[in-house]
Amino acid sequence: MIKSIPLITTLGITCVGGFVLAHKDAEKSTTLVAAKTDTLRSSGTARAWAQSTSDIPVDEKVVYGTLENGMRYIIQKNPRPKKRVSMRLHVDAGSLNEADNQRGIAHFLEHMVFNGTKHYPDATKLIPQMQRLGIAFGAHANAYTSFDETVYMLDLPNIDKSTLELGFAVMGDFADGALLENSEIDEERGVISSEKTSRDSVGLRMFEKQFSALLPNSIIPKRLPIGTDEVIAKAPRERFVDFYTRFYTPEKMTFVYVGDLDEATAEQHIRDTFGSIKNPNNPGPKANLGDISSPKGFNVSVFTDKELTSTELTLIHTRPHSYKTDSKSKRLESLKLNIANAIINRRFSRLAKEEGAVITSGAASHSVFMRDLELGSFDITALNNDWKTALPVLENEFRRALLFGFTQSEYKEVVAEIIHA
């Protein structure tokens, strides 16, 4: 088992998590033919809800539905705060769905839906209208793009008829009304390029370096949402249209509507707004992470960066993840692992506080990336960057947990914390 666990000796802060991008205000736009055309679409295939194969009861307060075109929706009445509603449009596509010549298009496209749509071709008129209602509007406030998803968000300050109509019209246009004018794309290139420069952080660089070493044959480190300079500067409109047409489709979208609402009226609004959208004959495929196997054997990698301020050692194991529908048994297995990690975290905490400690912190964690990749790790931060002295602490705690497990008293302490949390 130890041979299958790569060791990463990272000189600095290890940032192995994902990141998201959020964005600028919309700018002016003039009318052009919308990016989507009916000649490219067909009827949708409804995705089954997870609860259809789960033994966990569904919350009766939540309405789950699917339109004829395959688009799903979730409605929950919540009368508090009064006369307020929230809308979320989830698109099941992100940077991992991009082709090689589209790297950055998913994020770029998220900006573009704020720069002119079929109902609001001039975004400069929509922004004041939203602001008068107290709604912060623009890609920086209302959307984000990640590896596997793009999400649009609106929180409406009242439930007046005109406000709701505006909210649904805007969300409908995000889903099916972007104009994607050449002039607006060219104008936005500088904005995206500036964002790429501003987000060039040590955490992002460490993420790219570490995943390149861990998964050298996967597309994950090659699909950071911000994209590449070449695509940002030169990608033609056709690549935007291709991604928008093939991935912003009903069968890949879910609309979530929560607040002080009437369920029947809400369902009708959703049908009226999204029911006529059609799916393409050639929809975009599920993201393929490529070969997500790590190099065989016990491997050591060292990563450095001039902006790093500490030395962290990570013992990490990766393996393909077999996704299973949420169930009682699945949650029980997850709970066992969470308890084990919590016990290890308490051990590291005590070690960091002892007299003569050689680490400042430590933790054990487990995560699933994109439903396909499972990662488990032990992490410690070395005192005064002395990794040689800290390394035996990492190895000892790993072997201690692996060979001897945990005591009954440790188990009871963590369980008590979970129950009373």
Provide the greatest CA pair distance for the chain. Answer: 72
Q: Do residues 109 and 282 make contact, with C-beta atoms less than 8 angstroms apart? A: no
Alpha-carbon gap, residue 120 to 124, rounded angstroms: 9
pLDDT of residue 254: 97
Cis, peptide link before residue 280, omega less than 30° from 0: no
pLDDT of residue 111: 94
Alpha-carbon gap, residue 48 to 50, rounded angstroms: 6
pLDDT tens track, the chain, 421 positions: 212 223 333 333 333 333 334 433 333 333 344 556 434 445 556 678 888 889 999 999 999 999 999 999 999 999 999 999 999 999 999 999 999 999 999 999 999 999 999 999 987 778 788 888 778 777 667 899 999 999 999 999 999 999 999 999 999 999 999 999 999 999 999 999 999 999 889 989 998 999 999 899 999 999 999 999 999 999 999 999 999 999 999 999 999 999 999 999 999 999 999 999 999 999 999 888 888 888 888 888 999 999 999 999 999 998 888 888 889 999 999 999 999 999 999 999 999 999 999 999 999 999 998 888 899 999 999 999 999 999 999 999 999 999 999 999 999 999 999 998 8
Apex CA 282: angle with CA 43 and CA 99, to 5°? 140
Alpha-carbon gap, residue 178 to 113, rounded angstroms: 5
pLDDT of residue 134: 78
Q: Do residues 14 and 378 make contact, with C-beta atoms less than 8 angstroms apart? A: no
Q: How many residues does the chain have?
A: 421
Phi/psi of residue 110, each to 5°? -60, -35
Apex CA 198: angle with CA 197 and CA 199, to 5°? 90
Helical segments of 235-327, H only: 237-247, 263-274
**Which domains does the chain show, CATH number per domain?**
38-280 (3.30.830.10), 310-420 (3.30.830.10)
Phi/psi of residue 73, each to 5°? -150, 155
Please give the single-letter amino acid code of residue 134: G
Nearest to 392, CA basis, from 405, 406, 407, 382: 382
Quick one: tokens of 166? Answer: 């505006």
pLDDT of residue 5: 27
Helical segments of 117-181, H only: 123-132, 139-142, 161-176
pLDDT of residue 372: 86
Give residues with Cβ within 8 angstroms of 368, minimum separation 6: 321, 323, 374, 375
Cis, peptide link before residue 81, omega less than 30° from 0: yes
Give residues with Cβ within 8 angstroms of 261, minimum separation 6: 75, 77, 85, 159
Q: How far is CA 334 from CA 262, 322, 328, 366, 413, in A?
A: 37, 14, 10, 10, 18
Residue written as token pair 């440790």: 410
End-to-end CA distance of the chain, in Å? Answer: 34
Give residues with Cβ within 8 angstroms of 369, minimum separation 6: 18, 220, 321, 375
Phi/psi of residue 290, each to 5°? 80, -160
Burial of 182 by CB count in 10 Å (0-12 exposed, 13-18 middle, 19+ buried)?
Answer: exposed
Nearest to 41, CA basis, from 72, 69, 16, 17: 69
Give residues with Cβ within 8 angstroms of 167, minimum separation 6: 85, 87, 154, 156
Please give the single-letter amino acid code of residue 401: A
